[in-house]
Amino acid sequence: MIDSSNATQRRWHQRLVLLAAALFLFFAAGAMASPGAHGPNGEHLDGPTQAASGASKAPRMEARSEAFELVGQLRDDEFSMLINRFETSEPVLDAKVEIETGALKAPAKFHADMGDYAVDDAAFLKALKAPGAHAVVVTIVAGAESDLLEGTLTSEGANAHSHEDGHGHGMPTTAWLVLALVALGLVIYALSRRPGGRTATRDGDAR
């Protein structure tokens, strides 16, 4: 009958529209949440921003003794260390600090504005940036106290953390959006080409 045919067509049309919306939302969600997605200021959403926390994927090391504890971080232009007293977590300021790895040895300069100790010697940094695990010994002399702290810094090399063109290991956002538009276009094309319902009655019924 005519009413039954029209009702079937409407249900079929509604299902295709829902399918189109679901496909578009699926691909759009993949574009927004894929690895390497960026925020409004270009920051990576799948990791902490340096502006917010000062942290990065740079090689790090930790060492402690009965008197002191330190956290070191290898940056592009320096090896930076924060040193505290082990018992109280009180920062150790303006101490004499020397660091060595292998046959290399260098003094660490104290930065009063940042409260850290840094080594910027080019040969020393080159040795630490070489791929592999590096044994590091830090000598600390703070007033009448002195101690040796030993730790290991593992570096993956200078290019370990470089970004690819897609800014991540997943599919780039542009590709996800293109897929979403293609999926939506295919569904719209299918809707426009859907077969029309037979609304005419059969000859036998009309008579």
Across the range 124-142, mean pLDDT stands at 96
Residues 82 and 129 in one domain: yes
* For helices 173-192 and 2-33, angle between their N-to-C axes, nearest 10 degrees: 170
Residue type, 158: A
Answer whether residue 200 is part of any domain.
Answer: yes
Residue 7 is classified by DSSP as: H
How is 11-43 classified by DSSP, letter by letter? Answer: HHHHHHHHHHHHHHHHHHHHHHHSTT-B-TTS-
Q: Do 78 and 134 fall within a single domain?
A: yes
Contact between 162 and 112 (Cβ < 8 Å): no
- Start-to-end CA distance of the chain, whole Å, equals 15
CA distances from 196 to 8, 15, 200 (A): 11, 16, 11
Domain count, the chain: 2
CB atoms within 10 A of CB 204: 6
Q: Is residue 51 a part of any domain in this protein?
A: no
- Rounded Cα distance between 177 and 172, Å, is 9
92 with 118, same domain: the answer is yes
Domain membership of residue 146 as a residue range: 58-155
DSSP bridge pairs for 107:
98
**CA atoms within 13 A of residue 113's CA, in its CB half-sphere:** 0
Q: Write the pLDDT tens digit of every residue in 61-85.
A: 999 999 999 999 999 999 999 999 9
Q: Is residue 65 part of a domain?
A: yes
Query: Token digits for 69?
Result: 């504890």
pLDDT(55) > 70: no
Q: Specify whether 65 is located in the same domain as 37.
A: no
User: How much is the pTM?
Assistant: 0.51
What confidence tens digit (pLDDT) does each residue in 153-187 have?
Answer: 999 865 444 444 444 445 566 666 777 777 777 76
- What string of DSSP letters covers 188-206? HHHHHTPPPP--SPPHHHH
